Chain A
Amino acid sequence: MDGDEQRGRFLSLLQPIERDLENYSRRMVFNQRDFEDALQNAVLRAFRAFDRYHDDASFRAWMFRILTNEIFAINRKRGRLAQFEIAIEPEEMEEFASVAFATEAPTSWETLADALDEELVAALQKLNDAERAVLLMRGIGDLRYREISECLGIPLGSVMGNLSRARQKMRDAILRSRRRSAL
């Protein structure tokens, strides 16, 4: 495969996921000014390593992995360390499902407006790096648990635990906003 052909193939895989990568980068970087650098560095890195990418792997998961590493490196420079050493025991995985479940069922999410988005932005910023990465990889990247686990190099149980906690915090934010708007 010559250079142009390789570039064409790389772009054909990249373009359908550009929006997701950008949304992910915007929400993952500690400092908003860094999101473009993170994207640019990640894409260049991926292209340089493209000859090592295999068709049987998910390009989406591969790109998210490279972008995540780039963002962590940038965030680290900004003084915010990624903390992934959160051990989840098997019995906690069992507990995960029940914790994740909404006991209070909101009836009309659609009626909530911009105030809710503000609440969600604040809640997202308060998540720790592991919770936010896992939530965004699932919510924006649409990655499988196994792919997230491989991207972040953390056990499957940690993925589920972090996702559960992150969703619970976002759910709380929605409920808070709903209660406030009901006052």
Chain B
Amino acid sequence: MKCAEVRKFVRLYLDSELDAKHSFEVEQHLESCAECAGLFEAEKKFDQRLGRFLRRDTATRPLWKKIEALIAPSRSRGIKALWPVALATSLILFVGGAMFFKSRTLDLANAVEECHSAYAHQITTPEFSGAVPEKIAQQFGGRLDSEAFAYRPSQPAFTSSGARLCHVEGVPVALILGHCAETPVSMIVFKKSELDNFPQTKRKLESGDPIACSRAGRFQFAARVVDDHVVCVIGDEPRPALEDLLKTVRRADG
């Protein structure tokens, strides 16, 4: 390797991002070139100086004690003694509640709730914005099309931060992530032919209701058919607001 080539790799080398072959070649060159070795050393010192500056503060113990205590407050002995009663009560409430909510929650709403919850908790982020990247389109397997990613509400209140491919009950869907004001709102779009996987929602949409609404965990959910796709919106917004948003959804190119 020549000096100019070696110097191009200085940052990748110092950040341990260079592959083994190139690292070895850089090291060999540095052993025989004092000028390059000096320049690498200077850059290393810059890293050390910057690192000392960035990491100069030590952890604040009282703060971390407070945070750690918040993670799971310790239970008192009295409460521990009551756990069988609490468990039985919880079970009754849970089963009763689940039966009550199950009858009111659409299958599609249940299925997409996890997707949105991950986004609302900032575990899921957009993969891309704009045109669908080729490597993602290759994963459609003929069950989704790029058009699904082109739907957007025309309401200016909704701002999209990007999209990603997601699977809901095995169905590939376009997950469009956005906000209404400060509230995270997800839009899920998939081919109408996949509606067979969600019979409750299909029945509801075919019964004459243009919009199928439901709760989805702590979120509200609404779905409708637009062209040859099913479009759903879900978020911690009042149901009428979501319905209004959904009514304005159009395919951007159409």
Interface residues of A, Cβ cutoff 8 Å to B: 3-4, 7, 10-11, 14-15, 18-20, 22-23, 26-27, 36, 39-40, 43-45, 47-49, 52, 65-66, 69-70, 73, 76-77, 85, 94, 96-98, 100-102, 105-107, 109-110, 112, 116-117, 120, 135-136, 138-140, 144-145, 153, 163-164, 167, 170-171, 174
Contact = CB atoms under 8 A, between A and B. Distances in A.
A102 to B, nearest CB: 6
A151 B17 CA distance: 17
Nearest to A36: B63
A42 to B, nearest CB: 9
A109 B45 contact: yes
A76 B184 CA distance: 13
Nearest to A138: B15
Interface stretch (B2-10, B139-147, B187-195, B229-237): B2-10
State the majority secondary structure of interface residues on A. Answer: helix
Contacts of B39: 101-102, 105
Nearest to B10: A101
Given A98-B8, A102-B39, A102-B43, A117 B59 contact: no
A66 B127 CA distance: 16
Interface stretch (B67-75, B149-157, B196-204, B209-217): B67-75
A77 B182 contact: yes
Contact of B162 (A43, A135, A153): A153
A136 B118 CA distance: 25
Contacts of B71: 7, 10-11, 43-44, 47
A101 B226 CA distance: 54
Nearest to B58: A19
22 contacts: A4-B72, A7-B71, A14-B68, A18-B59, A22-B59, A22-B63, A23-B54, A23-B56, A27-B54, A43-B71, A45-B121, A101-B10, A106-B46, A109-B45, A116-B49, A138-B15, A139-B51, A140-B55, A144-B17, A145-B17, A167-B50, A170-B50
